[in-house]
Structure 1
Amino acid sequence: MSAWLFDLGNTRLKCAPLLDGGRVGEARALPHREEDVAAALTQHLPEHIDVAYLASVAQPGLRVAVLEALASRCRRISIARTQPRFGDVRIAYRDPRKLGVDRFLALVAAHARAQGPALVCGVGTALTVDLLDAQGTHLGGRIAPSPTLMREVLHARAPQLPEQGGNYVDFAADTEDALASGCDGAAVALIERSLDAARVRLGEEPRLLLHGGGSDTLAAHLPTATEVATLVLEGLAQWAAVETAA
């Protein structure tokens, strides 16, 4: 059976084949605009797919465009949704609909990977931080603007402030470096503060897992971090295995 995984976020569309044993194949990023989705899927995907598993937190128009493009080549499309419990993972939110499915799937994958407590940080349009104990209980999280979004908003309100460029330094001597240092530094500080709070809460050091398009920039300043680019897709693969068995 030919199966593919799709992670449709606010910034990127990632996909990968689902291999034997629930493994995630080579992931690729596709164009993230409604008008480009169909052509991108035609270029990168097989002509026919038995089943597509989709996790989406994107705005409705883009989500519909992806579904329409997939419908032309897929026998079945299965859409993942946040669940109050998945195996040992139990989410903290009283209303599961309020926890983005990408965060939910990242927790599922993190629990399988970490074999212990984990602090899971997604760096995309938003910066999300979620704490998971060794038993799989989600202890809650935080949401903040990512460094990229901070730069974009600052540029929109003050066009003289560039939305890209600059290097991280402790005390910058030009505007580009000051912006990079301030926005990246704010995200790093939030993660470090969350790690401190997690140690107090758990009585031990959680494993720090980073994922998302902006994770590589922050990882350079977080020496204990492990980058897992496919974390959401890995969680989606686990969800797909249970959905197929049902």
Structure 2
Amino acid sequence: MIKQYKQGNQVIWYDGSLIDQPSELLFDPSYWQQQQRVLGSAQGRGTTWFVDMGQCHAALRHYRRGGLFGKLVEDKYLFTGWDQTRAYQELMLLDQLKQAGVNVPKPIAAKVEKSGLTYTADLLIEKIADAQDLVAILKQGKLSEQAYYQIGEMIGKMHQQQVNHTDLNIHNILLDSDQAVWIIDFDKCRKEAGEHWKKKNLGRLKRSFAKECQRFAIHWSENDWLPLQQGYSDQF
């Protein structure tokens, strides 16, 4: 269950089963470094830190803007309400999907700090153990029809919850060592009524396969789309 802790101009939402005492230190990479609990890091728009929380391994991310605007206001967003912040929305979306049986990272905690008209935000989520994204896997060889079916199946489960993953691509789909399918990176994703966007989600994913074929010569062909589509359709 997600709980809330508010102090001054700062709110922390957290999973009470994993965190007893919410603290802003949880979102400070230097704190984890001092505790010698940093497992590694990854570079993207910013640095994602992988930390050992004891009960689980987690990924810590500070929200940063991209593009030209991001160079001007690197990590600040317009504040329109606590429940409108990106960290809160991503945390609660993950919580809903997790409860519905969709394989997404477990939401651990989110922090939002307000300053005047803007805010900054951080997110702590589960690090999926022994997992690789589809690009890394398909560089090594082909996937089975069963794997593609299960990918379609998991996307279908997500769409059953009316969650629009606005950046559904093969970098955001993982397979772990047990061949379980995971979907990640729900920043700016949302619940959305209707059906029209679901086809767009799938179209975006298919274009991603084709694009990475050209970039990295991954082992994928149009025929591989058929079992994925079947796995998806069987959810409806």
User: Shorter-chain TM-score: what band?
Assistant: under 0.3
Give the TM-score normalised by structure 2: 0.28
